[in-house]
Structure 1
Amino acid sequence: MNIQASKHVTITCNDRQTISAHLFTPTSPIKGAVMIAPATGIKQQFYANFATYLQQHGFGVITFDNRGIGQSLNRSIKKSKATLQTWGEQDMPAVLEYLQKTFPGTRHHLVGHSAGGQLVGLMHNADQLSSAFNFACSSGKLTNMRLAYQVKAQFFMNGVIPVSNALFGHTKSQWFGMGEPLPKGVAKQWQKWCNAQGYVQSAFGDTVFQHCYNTLVMPSMWVNATDDDIANNANVADMLSVFSKLKASKLTLNPKDYGLKEIGHMKFFSKKSDGLWSHALEWLNKHS
C-alpha cells in the first residue's frame, strides 16, 4: 500500500494552549482513527514507526507532544505550568476532538503508553472512544515493585525530583534516562501519584473534581511485559481498580516468545519489536 508522509499540525486546547501533533493519513479507505497518547516525557517521534504501521493498515493516526514536552514546549521549561492533570484534562481531549474532525464518520480509538492510558479517565470526552489498547499502563505504585528496582525508583521519585525542582525549576529526568526534561508540576504530581494507591485516584477530591474513571465502559486491552518492573501485574491491577466499570482484557508478553531480548516498559513501540504490533492491529480491527 502506498502511504503519504505525516503532516505536522498545531492543536489548540480549550485553555488556548497549543500543542504539536502529526497526522498519518492512509491512502486506502479508512478503517478507523487512532490517537497515540505518550508516556511521561516521551516525544511523539518515538511512536512514528508504529503510527506508520497502523497507517499502512488503513488507520488514520495522530501522535502528539504533551504541553511542556518536545515540540509543545513553547516557553522556558521553568515557566511551564503543565501537570499530569492538564495533560489528561486539556491536551488529550483536544487531540481526540482534532482526530474526530479530521477523520469523521468512523470509530476512534486510544493507544495509550503508560501515562497515556492512565490519564484517559480525566478526558471529558473519553466516552467517545470506541476502544483503548494500553501498553505498560499501571499505577506505578513504588511499593508494588520488586525491591531492587524499587530502590532506584524511590531514589528518582523521592530524591531526584524534589531536589532537581528546587535547584533547576524543573526535573532533569533526561540525566537518568527518563525521557525529556519534565516541567516542575508534571514531576511533582508524578511523584505524588506513584507514592499512592491507584495513581490519579489519590487526587480525587483534592485537585481532581471531575472525571469519568467510574463511568467508562468501553472495551479495553491492557498489555504489559514480564520484564517490566514498573507496570508489573500488581500495578496493572491497581490501576484497573480505579476504572470501576471498564471492560478490560489483559495480556502479558514474554520477550522470549518473540525472539526479543527485552520489552520492558518502553520497547513495545520500538521498530525492533514490530513483531508485537499485530496485537494492537488485531484489537483495532476487531473494534473498528
Structure 2
Amino acid sequence: MQEPVTLTCEDGYQLSATLFRPTTPLKGAVLIAPATGIKRQFYAHFATFLTSQGFGVLTFDNRGIGDSLSTSLRRCDASLVSWGQLDMPAALDALGDFFPDQPYFLVGHSAGGQLVGLMPNAHKLAAFINFGSSSGSLRNMRRSYRLKAHFFMNVFIPVSNLLFGHTKSHWVGMGEPLPKGVARQWRDWCNGSGYVKTEFGRDIRDHNYDSLKIPSKWIIASDDNIANEKNLQEMIEVYGGSKSRSCVLYPSAFGLDGIGHMRFFSRHAERLWPLITNFFDEHLHPSPFLV
C-alpha cells in the first residue's frame, strides 16, 4: 500500500514523498535517497519489492526536483549541500515517525549515497547500502566517456545556467532540470577529488563523514561509466569511519544485457534486489529511533 505524504524540513521547506507500507509483518524501515535529478517515482517498483520483504519504505523528491519544486527553477536556491543537510534528514525523521522503534536503513542511489555523511541524524541508521555512488571524478573516467562528461560538466552546465538560470539536464538525458546551485556544486565536486570532500572546510564545516561508524555496502556495475572502481574507492575513503565493503556487478553474470548507472532500480534488474535485503537482514538488531 502506498500513499502520498508531505515532509517538512528544518528550514520550513516542504518535500513531496510517498510512503509504502508492507503487506507482511514489519521488520524494519528504509529510506530511498535518490540520484541527482531523479524523481521518486523511478524507485516505486523497487520500493514495492522492499515492502514484500517486510520493510516500510519512504521515497521523496529533493527540493527543486519533481513535485518538490515550489517555485520557478530560476529562483530555486537548492544545492547538493541542502539536499544532504536538510532534505535527507527530514526524510529520515519522517521515516521514524511513520515506523517507530524499528531498525532504519538507507538505500542511496548515486548522490543519495554520497550525501549521507552530511546528515546530522545519520547515526540513527543501522546500516546503509549504495548503488552507483562514487566520487564521480572526471579524471578517473574511461577515456571514451571522459570527453562527454567534460562537455556536460564544464560546458553544458555553465552555459545552461547562464542562459536559462538553471541546467536543462533533461535535454541530454541526465534526469530532471536542475537548480543552478545543484548543478554548479555537482560540476565543482566532479572536477575535484573525493566529490563532497572538495568542500570540507569551506561550504561544509559540519559533517559526519569521519565519525559515521555504521556498516555500509557499496555496489557498482562493471558497465557504469561514472561509478567506476577508482571513483568508488575515492568515495569510500571519504567515509573514513564506516565499516565498508563493496562489490562490482557484471551484467552477464546475472543474465542481463546491461546495468550501467541507472538500471539497477528498474524491473529489468529485479533479480539483483535481494542483494539489498540480504544486507539489511544482517543488521536487523534493535535500533530505537531517537527524536
| TM superposition score category, shorter chain reference | over 0.9
- Amino acid corresponding to residue 127 of structure 1 in structure 2: H
Cα shift at 1:20: 0.5
Cα shift at 1:281: 1.2
- The corresponding residue for 1:284 is 280
- The corresponding residue for 1:162 is 158
- Amino acid corresponding to residue 198 of structure 2 in structure 1: S
SS in 1 for 2:146: helix
- Amino acid corresponding to residue 57 of structure 1 in structure 2: Q
Cα shift at 1:285: 1.5
Identify the match of residue 247 of structure 2 among 225, 248, 251: 251
SS in 1 for 2:260: coil
Q: Distance in 1 between matches of 2:264 and 2:241?
A: 27
Q: Is the 8 A contact 1:157 1:191 kept in 2?
A: yes
Q: Is the 8 A contact 1:41 1:182 kept in 2?
A: yes
SS in 2 for 1:215: coil
Q: Distance in 2 between matches of 1:177 and 1:170?
A: 15
Runs of 4+ in 1 over 2 A off after TM superposition: none
Matched, 1:132 2:113: no
Percent identity between matched residues is 55
Identify the match of residue 30 of structure 2 among 9, 27, 34: 34
Cα shift at 1:62: 0.3
Q: Distance in 1 between matches of 2:215 and 2:139?
A: 29
Q: Distance in 1 between matches of 2:280 and 2:45?
A: 17
- The corresponding residue for 2:102 is 106
For structure 1, which runs of at least 5 residues remain unmatched after alignment? none
TM-score (norm 1): 0.98
- The corresponding residue for 1:240 is 236
- The corresponding residue for 1:83 is 79
- 1:74-121 deviations in Å (ceiling 9; x for gaps): 110111010000000000000000001110111000000000000000
Q: Distance in 2 between matches of 1:244 and 1:28?
A: 36
1:90-101 map, 5 Å: 90-101=86-97
Q: Is the 8 A contact 1:31 1:285 kept in 2?
A: no
Cα shift at 1:286: 1.5
Q: Distance in 1 between matches of 2:229 and 2:268?
A: 24
SS in 2 for 1:21: strand
- The corresponding residue for 1:208 is 204
SS in 2 for 1:35: strand
Q: Distance in 2 between matches of 1:280 and 1:243?
A: 20
- 1:165-220 deviations in Å (ceiling 9; x for gaps): 00000000000000000000000000000000110000011100100000001111
TM-score (norm 2): 0.97
RMSD over equivalenced CA pairs, Å: 0.6
Q: Is the 8 A contact 2:24 2:51 kept in 1?
A: no
Q: Distance in 2 between matches of 1:287 and 1:80?
A: 38
Q: Distance in 2 between matches of 1:98 and 1:248?
A: 26
- The corresponding residue for 1:271 is 267
- Amino acid corresponding to residue 76 of structure 2 in structure 1: S
- The corresponding residue for 1:231 is 227
Identify the match of residue 151 of structure 1 among 123, 147, 155: 147
Q: Distance in 2 between matches of 1:204 and 1:250?
A: 24
Q: Is the 8 A contact 1:112 1:135 kept in 2?
A: yes
- The corresponding residue for 1:260 is 256
Q: Distance in 1 between matches of 2:112 and 2:23?
A: 27
Q: Distance in 2 between matches of 1:270 and 1:26?
A: 20
Count of residues paired in the alignment: 284
- The corresponding residue for 1:61 is 57
- 1:251-281 deviations in Å (ceiling 9; x for gaps): 1100001111110000000011001001011
For structure 2, which runs of at least 5 residues remain unmatched after alignment? 285-291
- Amino acid corresponding to residue 222 of structure 2 in structure 1: T
